Amino acid sequence: GAVVSQHPSRVICKSGTSVKIECRSLDFQATTMFWYRQFPKQSLMLMATSNEGSKATYEQGVEKDKFLINHASLTLSTLTVTSAHPEDSSFYICSARDFRRDPEKLFFGSGTQLSVL
Amino acid sequence: AQSVAQPEDQVNVAEGNPLTVKCTYSVSGNPYLFWYVQYPNRGLQFLLKYITGDNLVKGSYGFEAEFNKSQTSFHLKKPSALVSDSALYFCAVETGSTLGRLYFGRGTQLTVWP
What is the total count of domains within chain B? 1
Over pLDDT 90: what percentage of chain A?
62
Torsion, Cα A112 A15 A12 A94, to 10 degrees, reads: 10
Min Cα–Cα distance to chain B from A18, Å:
22
pLDDT recorded at residue A31: 82
Q: Read off the pLDDT of each residue in B43-70 and give the average, rounded to a whole number.
A: 91
Taking the Cβ of residue B31 and every Cβ of chain A, the question of whether any pair is shorter than 8 Å is answered with: no
Measured between alpha carbons, how far is B93 from A30 in angstroms, rounded to an integer? 21
Q: pLDDT class for A44, splitting at 50, 70, 90?
A: confident
Taking the Cβ of residue B101 and every Cβ of chain A, the question of whether any pair is shorter than 8 Å is answered with: yes
Q: Which is more confidently placed, B28 or A24?
A: A24
Mutation target for A interface from B95, B101, B108: give the one with most A CBs within 10 A. Answer: B101
Measured between alpha carbons, how far is B61 from B50 in angstroms, rounded to an integer? 16
Measured between alpha carbons, how far is B90 from B84 in angstroms, rounded to an integer? 17
Over pLDDT 70: what percentage of chain A?
97
What is the domain range of residue B73? 3-113
Cβ-based contacts of A36 with chain B (< 8 Å): 104
Contact between chains at A43 and B43 (C-beta distance less than 8 A): no
Over pLDDT 70: what percentage of chain B?
96
Min Cα–Cα distance to chain A from B105, Å:
6
Min Cα–Cα distance to chain B from A19, Å:
19
Check: CB of residue B85 under 8 Å from CB of residue B110.
yes
pLDDT in tens, B63-110: 999 999 999 999 999 999 999 999 999 999 987 766 677 889 999 999
Q: Which is more confidently placed, B110 or A100?
A: B110
Q: Look up the CATH number of the domain holding residue B94.
A: 2.60.40.10
Taking the Cβ of residue A11 and every Cβ of chain B, the question of whether any pair is shorter than 8 Å is answered with: no
Q: Read off the pLDDT of each residue in A28-37 and give the average, rounded to a whole number.
A: 89
Within the 84-103 window of chain A, which residues sit less than 8 Å (CB to CB) from chain B? 93, 95, 97
Nearby residues of A16 by Cβ (< 8 Å), 6 or more positions away: A83, A84, A85
- A·B CB contacts under 8 A: 56
Contact between chains at A104 and B106 (C-beta distance less than 8 A): no
Taking the Cβ of residue B107 and every Cβ of chain A, the question of whether any pair is shorter than 8 Å is answered with: yes
Q: Which residues of A23-49 are buried (b: 16+ CB within 10 A; e: fewer)?
A: bbbeebebebbbbbbbeeeebbbbbbb
Q: Does the pLDDT at position A43 exceed 90? A: no
Closest CB from B9, B43, B104 relative to A110: B43
pLDDT in tens, B1-34: 778 999 999 999 999 999 999 999 998 888 899 9
Contact between chains at A107 and B36 (C-beta distance less than 8 A): no
